[in-house]
Amino acid sequence: MDSPLVKDITLFLDDKPSVYALRQKAKNALLATGFPTPKTEAWKYTNVKDLLNTPLEINTDSEVCDGDCCQHHQTEPFIEITFCQGKLHIEEYNTPKGLIITPLPVALYENEYKNYLFNSFDLEKHPFAALNGMYLEQGICICVEKGSHISEPIHINYHQHNCNNQQIHIHNLIIAERDCCLEVLETYNGDTSFPYLTNVVNEIYLKENATLTHYKIQKEAETAFHIALNAVKQQKNSQYKQFYLSNGAKLSRQETLINLDQEDAKAEIYSAYTAKKECITDITTNINHLKPNTYSNQYAKAVLEDSSVACFQGKIHIAPNAIKTSGHQLHKALYLNDNATLNCKPELEIYADDVKCSHGASCGEIDKEQLFYLTSRGIDKNIATKMLIDAHLEEIFALISNEEIKTLFCRK
């Protein structure tokens, strides 16, 4: 491996053989497959050469934060989990009944979590998740017990300030037992002029009838690389709903892999992103309908400016026995500039009869009639344009039912 991202995996001190074995397994997978090249189908439109050539270090210090960054005023009624420069703030979580929050370093020593690690995706198909696994150390496990409804959203707050020249790997587990219900919000905020990599893997397990609404707001620094995999396994009648807002990072890839393993499982992915300057934004989904009567819906809206490049690749796979399933995807882009590029690649692999599938894509510029209407009411052209850009994304935000979280999505 000739990328400076790959280091010696014995660099963590506290190694226990079982943890070491996991890291070794991930490393072997990465060595076997290598990093993606422009010839790798799944990465055809997103070139990671620049990332692979950037010398980024692993920070093995456990103390990196003086706590200042976390002194913000918490106004929303959220259960807070904070990572500073990739390190989890260990604190006493004041959790409601039915919710168990365990730092990954602790969970790694507990047998009950073992079956969940590297189990929702194939290490050999996800090179950056394998890289993440090589450095398995930081992360959080969120476990909701059978029948529990957690009314406050769990907020995982990633402070990526001062992550200069670092590579940060975080591995989270979300385990929702039968009949439970929860909301998880991830926010990423970065502010630096140095490069860094955020590489996150969320392994999500939804048992029978479990419901998870998963929100993510990605506002990394303009110099950042952000690579994320949400790997979701869903049992009977479970529901996964994802809302993703991306408007940061120089290169970002949000990949969502969903296995609808049992009947009546339902997944929805709503994405809104704005891309400026020369940034690359990649939204990739893989939805596997493995059983009858499963449902998926994906809707993405983009605003593309300057020379930005966007890639939306969505694969819907319907297994031979998965009759009466439905899978839909739609992408609508707003171009503010002719230099922006959009690569839209829908893929439908349908091996079953009696299914409903659709995909569509549209792109256009700011509507001249709408702009005229607003300016003819005295609103300055640039403000009116801004209003119409926001309006484009508003259609996604309007689907968010949690008002506090919706406000965060709408905040500029």
What are the phi and psi torsion angles at 97 (to 5°)?
A: -60, 135
The phi, psi pair for 371, rounded to 5°, reads -65, -40
| Least distance from another protein to the Cβ atom of residue 215, Å | 20
Pair of tokens at residue 243:
């809302």
Tell the smallest beta-carbon distance from residue 369 to another protein (Å): 5
- Cα separation of 147 and 178, whole Å? 6
**Nearest CB to another protein, comparing residues 15 and 390:** 390
Binding to another protein (CB under 8 A) within 375-404 occurs at: 375-381, 383-384, 387-388, 390-395, 398
The bridge status of strand 167-176 relative to strand 196-206 is parallel
Residue closer to another protein, measured from CB, 21 or 383: 383
Nearer Cβ to another protein (2/369) = 369
What is the spatial distance between Cα 22 and Cα 367, in angstroms, rounded to a whole number?
A: 53
Residue 136 φ then ψ, to 5°: -50, 115
Pick the closer one to another protein by CB: 225 or 397: 397
With respect to another protein, which residue has the nearer C-beta, 24 or 385? 385
The answer to whether residue 208 forms part of the interface with another protein (CB under 8 A) is no
Q: What angle do CA 290, 291, 295 make, to 5 degrees?
A: 90
The Cα–Cα gap between 129 and 125 comes to: 9
List CB contacts of 227: < 8 A, sequence separation 6 or more.
128, 197, 198, 199, 200, 252, 253
x-or-dash pattern for another protein, window 142-161, by CB under 8 A? Answer: --------------------
Beta bridge partners of 88: 83
CB of 382 to another protein, least distance (A): 10
Shortest Cβ 302–another protein spacing (Å)? 14
Edge to edge, the sheet with strand 154-159 lists 87-88, 79-84, 154-159, 181-189, 211-219, 239-246, 266-275, 295-304, 326-335, 356-365
Partners of 326 in beta bridges: 295, 356
Q: What is the DSSP letter of 121?
A: S
User: Binding string to another protein for residues 355 to 374, with x set by CB under 8 A, is what?
Assistant: -------------xxx-xxx
Minimal distance, residue 410 CB to another protein, in Å: 11
Q: Cα(88)–Cα(81) distance, rounded to whole angstroms?
A: 8
Closest distance between another protein and the C-beta of residue 124, in Å? Answer: 42
CB of 381 to another protein, least distance (A): 6
In the bound state with another protein, the residue whose beta carbon lies nearer, of 65 and 371, is 371
Nearer to another protein, 11 or 398 (CB): 398
Nearer to another protein (CB atom), residue 70 or residue 366 = 366
Least distance to another protein, CB of residue 398, Å: 8
What number of chain residues touch another protein (CB under 8 A)? 24
* Distance spanning both ends of the chain, measured CA to CA: 40
Interacting residue ranges for another protein, rule: CB under 8 A? 368-370, 372-381, 383-384, 387-388, 390-395, 398
